[in-house]
Amino acid sequence: MSRPPSSQTTPQFYRVSERDLTEIELHSVDSINDLHRTHHENSNKGVRPPRPANSPSSNGNLYTCDMTAVNQRGRPNSSKWQRRLQDMLTPSSSRAYAMGCAIITLLLLTVLLIFYFLVQQGGAIQMLTEAVREKEAAATELSLLIQQLHALRHNLTALGGGT
């Protein structure tokens, strides 16, 4: 039953009996049940019938191939956080609705903050305008007092210089 080593990479076929196929199917079902018992978070996603990794050909031989790097959907195996990130980025109606609500809420908060700061700035500008008006009024009053003081000095010098 030994074969000479082949330099070609041809698929290998093995004769599998009906009894062996039944035993393989039973082991597959047991393995799936064990997985469902140990991984509760995956058990509520629905049960799919197992896809045979090695399907028999028309003559009853079993074709073998290496599927260690590819999962059942034909994509490379990835870690749990990569799948969750991909699920988060995948659009769905409820996720899109929640994202839309979050964006609208952020925009409204931004507009409210802008109006708040504008009102604050408006109040500060009003106070500064009032202070400038008071300063101008005080400067005008001071300039009138200085003019009156000059007039009094002029009158005093005129009265004192004539006697």
pLDDT at 17 over 80: no
Residue 155 within a domain: no
Q: Is residue 126 part of a domain?
A: no
DSSP H/E element including 81:
helix 80-89
Q: Is residue 97 part of a domain?
A: no
pTM of the model: 0.33
pLDDT in tens, 132-153: 999 999 999 999 999 999 999 9
Split into its structural domains, the chain has a count of: 1
Residues 56, 11: contact at Cβ < 8 Å? no
Say if residues 25 and 62 touch (Cβ distance below 8 Å). no
What is the Cβ-side half-sphere exposure of residue 87, based on CA atoms within 13 angstroms?
A: 7
Cβ atoms 49, 56 nearer than 8 A: no
Q: What is the pLDDT of residue 129?
A: 95
Is 62 part of any domain? Answer: yes
The whole-angstrom separation of Cα 137 and Cα 135 is: 5
Predicted local distance difference test score (pLDDT) of residue 67: 47
The segment with the largest mean pLDDT, out of 31-45, 47-61, 78-92, 122-136, is 122-136
Give the residue numbers spanning the domain of 67: 13-89
Does residue 110 lie in a domain region? no
**Cα 140 to the chain's mean position, in Å?**
62
Query: Is residue 76 one of the residues assigned to a domain?
Result: yes
Burial of 29-43, coded b for 16+ CB within 10 Å and e otherwise, reads eeeeeeeeeeeeeee
User: Does residue 125 form part of some domain?
Assistant: no
31 belongs to a structural domain: yes
Using pLDDT thresholds of 50, 70 and 90, give the confidence band for residue 56.
Answer: low
Asked whether residue 127 carries a pLDDT value surpassing 90, the answer given is: yes
Tell me the pLDDT tens digit for each residue of 64-73: 554 444 455 5
